[in-house]
Structure 1
Amino acid sequence: MISREKAIKIKALAIDIGNSSTAFGLFEGERLKKRWICDTKKLKKADLKIFKDCKVVVSSVVPSVDKLIKKILSGARFIDPSKFDLLKIKIRNKKEIGADRVVNAYAAKKLYGYPVIVVDFGTATTFDVVSSKGEYIGGSIVSGIRMTCDALSEKTAKLPNITIKPPKKIIGGSTVEAMRSGILYGYVSLVEGMIARLQKEMGVKVKVVATGGYAKLIAQYAKGIDVVDMNLTLKGLSLV
């Protein structure tokens, strides 16, 4: 956390509220000065009160938390994809798309050019596409790697809940090693396959930017990821 005096001095706060975690970024102009993360379910009034004098912009996919933010930070600006005019959005229903996906697409376009694909490894993993015309044209959604791992344990009688980390070998010599191999390399293959299919459909070579909690891990093994930017969403909020 940060002191109220420091927050007031910097005055620009970006908040990215996800299903599992919430990321905070304090900016001085376009420069990220401090970043921290907390569990979304444990977010409290005390975490927010020190920012009441800051300029605040929020991306959220958790409506229940929005109420808390609006109560404490009454002047906070929430990203509304249906009214987002900084990026041309070419999908049928703008109200369906998550604010984080729009912000990611906008940030990637501004910072890395276009066409571009953003892969965000959150609770769900999203693939978002900005076309050669600079338009957001949609993407794909799949369960996140942690969710996939949890489901494997919860839906079976004997498989344990494990930490996600690289196995020593692809051929696992134990149940845990086999699970780690299947989850990591299976997910890597999913990511590589989706990137290849998206690029094939677009008909051009596209830069791929990865972000989200597992971006660094997956990027070590997955072909096709050009850039890892762990602060892409926060940077996008600051640009807005």
Structure 2
Amino acid sequence: MLLTINANNTNVKFAICEGDRMVTDWRLKTDPARTADQYVVWLNQLMQMSGMSLGQIDGAIIATVVPQSLFHLTMLCEKHLKTTPLVVGDPAVKLGIKVLMDMSPQDVGADRLANAVGGHVRYMKPLVVVDFGTATTFDVVDGDGNYVGGAISPGINLSLEALHSMTAKLPRIAVERPAKAIGKDTLTAMQSGIFFGYVGLIEGIVARIRAEFGAPLEVIATGGLAPLFHGGTPVLQHLDQEITTRGLIEIYRRNSGG
């Protein structure tokens, strides 16, 4: 079995995969100080509850945008799982795609590269992957699967936290899809501003990307808040919560000879 680890700024997602499919997955709040020993106790308990054992893991791949976490996650794999993980962004790890950026591929977010690979494997056409994470990212993939570039904007929860922490009277709220754009109290006014504000951001950025790209693009929504916005605008054509894991599985396959 393959263990894929996607460590972003909010959560670390561990997925157990067999062949080209994900068997199960778990999330843990990101803490750069968490040690390999702490990770393995948590992972071992969850695997046992699912009828699996650590000994069934014979390969691992890590994508992280939190450099401080990489050492402990690598130690988890090497010390406790007895396997040397592939690390997305390591020059020795082949992505199987070109990164058409004015910067080193190692400086592009590992999750964004995995999204590009995972999106191309499934859809096989030019794409925009909108990832609703700590940041809301827009990743453009051409018809050959190459990573073209994209856009990064503040994540929805970051915006909500800023509204609460930087104002005297606005409360901390959870984002929801409001019934109307005109809020009748503070709560519904904030929900309207956040939800429809991000709908406008999504539609506007995707429209500009499509105009610059000059060819049709499928738009994929992924990430924690993707289900909330999928269906809230016709721009988001597909909901795909496994795109990053699928990309990590494919990158591992490309580097392990099958």
TM-score computed with the length of structure 2 as normaliser:
0.84
Whether 1:41 aligns to 2:51 is no
Equivalent in 80, 85, 89 of residue 99 of structure 2: 89
Match in the other structure for 1:4: none
Counterpart in 2 of 1:128?
A: 139
The one-letter code of the counterpart of 1:63 is P
Q: SS of 1:73's equivalent?
A: helix
Structure 1 residue 195 corresponds to structure 2 residue 206? yes
Other structure's SS at 1:41 match: coil
1:72 alignment counterpart: 76
Give 1:96 shift. 1.9
Deviations 1:142-170 (A, max 9, x none): 01111111111111111111011122321
Write the mapping of 1:138-157 to structure 2, written as runs, cut at 5 A. 138-157=149-168
Q: Which of 222, 227, 234 is the equivalent residue of 1:216?
A: 227
Structure 1: 5+ residue stretches without partners: 1-10
TM-score, with structure 1 as normaliser? 0.90
The alignment covers a number of residue pairs equal to 230
Instruction: Tell me how large the CA RMSD over aligned residues is.
Output: 1.7
* Aligned residue in 1 for 2:17: 27
Query: 1:48, CA displacement in angstroms?
Result: 4.5
Deviates further, 189-198 or 32-41: 32-41
What is the deviation of 1:203? 1.0
Change (3 A) 1:138 1:81: farther
Query: Quick one: distance in 2 between partners of 1:138 and 1:51?
Result: 37
Deviation at 1:95, TM superposition (A): 2.6
- Quick check: 1:176 aligned with 2:187? yes
Percent of residue pairs identical? 35
Residue 6 of structure 2: aligned partner: 16
